[in-house]
């Protein structure tokens, strides 16, 4: 999973960014050491019976980087090359990500070392349920302890098996559905969770591109309209990022996947391309636009915005000098090595960091967790009341104006907010506030956005420790 270009271990690279930011604070060394350290890592090895009757030993991990706030939060990935270092690094990023966008969770991450394409659906279910059991017997999962979510190689299906297993082991726990997020709606999931990370990427880019001063420094006009975008990765994050950026007026000029890339300066219909791949096709036989045999070559294309939304360390010391995009939007976790990030900052490239831009998923996971604890769908209590109040007010306005609106006009004006509307509104509010808070810190310290986001996160985590009295 981790790029072979990452000579420095992933967790160490995260800590290099931490150290750079920590030097700009006046926090005590002992407190900084506590924040930096990963609190715990569980390594599990458990047997699973394959469909042919053979037994295979599966390795899994769960890292909790920080429990300054509970529960801890972080996805579970299924991939063939995951390691303890990778899981620990991703858990650390989750701590800083949650703090950056003011989501009240600690940081965690989980992984199972498998190539899911080699396993049947029934085998994947057995692996997921056994992994959940291993977490549960260690008290390493629960709505008030540690709440996983989907990540690379997992989806709502795995979350469904996790919650079913946890509920079976805790039949009297009234908030048991809150043990995991990213669930199907029928099991306590929330509308808007699947597309949340990609939608958050779009909101974050919209805010960054709205600042005329910053765009002028990059030689760009304000706004997303007409901006040429290259997206690496057409998974959940990449697809939804491209989809919402295209809706906002951006031009998706290239899409890269594992098998290669397709380029079309006129713009790519990402929905059609994704449908083509779901049908067994590849980006190379899509039939529209120019084809690249190497996915990595797409990173070096001329564009306005580059969105690496695949795996970590895709931009590194060996290719950073060939990156041409003036804006890099980190849709994935850790797509830039520390050295590449430093080089781009010195060059004046705007890098919108993962610990801010990738936070849409955990933000909406927070909303799902709140829904599970409140046991009521967002909008259920007040949607109709809002509509009736709006109808009465609109009726009074019509009477004063002497004009009657059509039924279609009236329905459009008085529509109450449903769960999806409220989730998207909360996500937008979160991303807007966090961007401008981070940008303000960047200007105050004269640093790049990544360093600024870390500075803000460190202060927020430190404040919790200090208020708890652990560090007077």
Catalytic amino acids?
109
Per-residue CA distances from 183 to 116, 119, 154 (Å): 19, 22, 11
- Are the C-beta atoms of 10 and 312 separated by less than 8 Å? yes
Provide the 10 A C-beta neighbour count for residue 159: 26
- Are the C-beta atoms of 230 and 303 separated by less than 8 Å? yes
Quick one: three-class SS letters along 197-228? HHHHHHHHHHHHHCCHHHHHHHCCCCCCCCCE
- Say how far apart CA 27 and CA 344 lie, in whole Å: 28
H helices present in 40-115, as ranges: 84-100
Q: Burial letters for 290-315: b for 16+ Cβ neighbours within 10 Å, e otherwise? A: ebbeebbbbbbbebbbbbbbbbbbbb
Is omega for the bond preceding 71 within 30 degrees of 0, making it cis? yes
Both structure tokens of 346: 């010195």
Both structure tokens of 79: 């991939």
Per-residue CA distances from 369 to 188, 236, 308 (Å): 9, 21, 28
* Measured CA angle at 236 (ends 233, 241), to 5 deg: 70
């Amino acid at each position: 999973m981790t790029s072979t270009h990452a000579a420095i271990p992933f967790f160490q690279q995260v800590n290099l960014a931490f150290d750079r930011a920590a030097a700009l604070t006046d926090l005590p060394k002992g407190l900084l050491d506590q924040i930096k350290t990963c609190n715990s890592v569980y390594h599990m090895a458990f047997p699973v019976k394959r469909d042919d009757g053979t037994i295979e030993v599966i390795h899994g991990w769960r890292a909790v980087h920080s429990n300054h706030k509970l529960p801890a939060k972080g996805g579970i990935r299924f991939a063939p090359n995951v390691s303890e270092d990778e899981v620990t690094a991703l858990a650390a990023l989750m701590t800083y990500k949650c703090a950056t966008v003011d989501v009240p969770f600690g940081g965690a991450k989980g992984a199972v070392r498998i190539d899911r394409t080699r396993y049947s659906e029934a085998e994947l279910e057995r692996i997921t349920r056994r992994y959940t059991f291993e977490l549960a017997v260690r008290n390493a999962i629960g709505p008030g302890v540690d709440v996983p979510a989907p990540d690379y190689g997992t989806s709502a299906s795995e979350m469904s098996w996790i919650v079913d297993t946890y509920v079976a082991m805790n039949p009297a726990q009234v908030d048991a559905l809150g043990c995991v997020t990213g669930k199907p709606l029928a099991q306590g999931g929330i509308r808007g969770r699947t597309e949340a990370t990609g939608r958050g990427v779009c909101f974050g880019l919209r805010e960054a591109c709205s600042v005329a001063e910053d765009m002028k420094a990059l030689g760009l006009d304000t706004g997303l309209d007409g901006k040429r975008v290259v997206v690496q990765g057409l998974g959940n994050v990449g697809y939804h990022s491209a989809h919402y950026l295209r809706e906002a007026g951006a031009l998706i000029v290239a899409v890269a996947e594992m098998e290669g890339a397709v380029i079309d300066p006129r713009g790519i219909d990402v929905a059609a391309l994704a449908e083509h791949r779901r049908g067994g096709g590849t980006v190379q036989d899509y039939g529209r636009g120019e084809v690249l045999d190497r996915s990595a070559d797409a990173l070096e294309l001329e564009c306005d915005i580059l969105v690496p939304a695949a795996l970590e360390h895709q931009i590194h010391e060996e290719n950073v000098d060939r990156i041409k995009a003036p804006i890099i939007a980190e849709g994935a976790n850790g797509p830039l090595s520390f050295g590449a990030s430093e080089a781009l900052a010195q060059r004046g490239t705007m890098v919108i960091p993962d610990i801010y831009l990738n936070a849409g998923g955990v933000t909406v996971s927070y909303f799902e967790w709140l829904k599970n604890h409140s046991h009521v769908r967002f909008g259920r209590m007040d949607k109709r009341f809002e509509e009736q109040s709006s109808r009465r007010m609109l009726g009074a306005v019509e009477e004063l104006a002497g004009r009657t609106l059509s039924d279609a006009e009236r329905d459009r004006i008085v529509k109450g907010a449903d769960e999806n509307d409220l989730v998207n509104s909360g996500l937008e509010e979160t991303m807007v506030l966090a961007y401008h808070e981070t940008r303000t810190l960047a200007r105050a310290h004269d640093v790049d956005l990544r360093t600024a986001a870390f500075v803000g996160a460190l202060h927020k985590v430190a404040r919790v420790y200090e208020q708890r009295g652990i560090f007077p």
